[in-house]
Amino acid sequence: MHLILQRYFGHTAFNPYQREIIQDILDGRDVLAVLATGGGKSLCYQVPALIGEGITLVISPLIALMKDQVDDLQARGIGAEALNSSGSYATTRRILSSRSGAGMRSGAQTSQPPQGALTRSPKYSRSIVLRHPVVVQ
């Protein structure tokens, strides 16, 4: 966990409660994490996504935040995509096609895609395991 934190995000320590939240997620527990703005909620789902297999689906109503986070993850060499109402049909089809080729059922593809960011673990780029959605508001 600390290796991922250092390697991908350049931090040497977690903020208060982050380590416990991440460990609970990794242990398969349902987690409701309420942290102040700037408290590091994003790392609470990004770190487990990099440790675990497959794809992590993050649902957010904030398109600008999704774009910022996806851009940041991509700059760090982490595969991430965003599906939202501002994307073109071609972009949506490309993202869904690339994910369905890796094992996502076509039933998961809708004409009105959910707003969310898909983060692929570089360690398991061929398999897709869709975990419980993480809702961030």
The domain 2-135 is classified under which CATH number: 3.30.1490.20, 3.40.50.300, 3.40.50.1980, 1.10.3720.10? Answer: 3.40.50.300
* Contact residues for 61 (Cβ-Cβ < 8 A; gap 6+): 115, 137
Residue 69 near residue 130, CB atoms below 8 Å: no
Domain ranges of the chain: 2-135
Q: In what order do the strands lie in the sheet with 134-135?
A: 79-83, 116-120, 55-59, 134-135
Tens digits of pLDDT across the chain (137 residues): 999 999 999 999 999 999 999 999 999 898 999 999 889 999 998 999 999 877 788 888 888 888 998 999 999 999 888 888 888 889 888 888 877 654 433 333 222 334 445 554 444 333 333 444 444 44
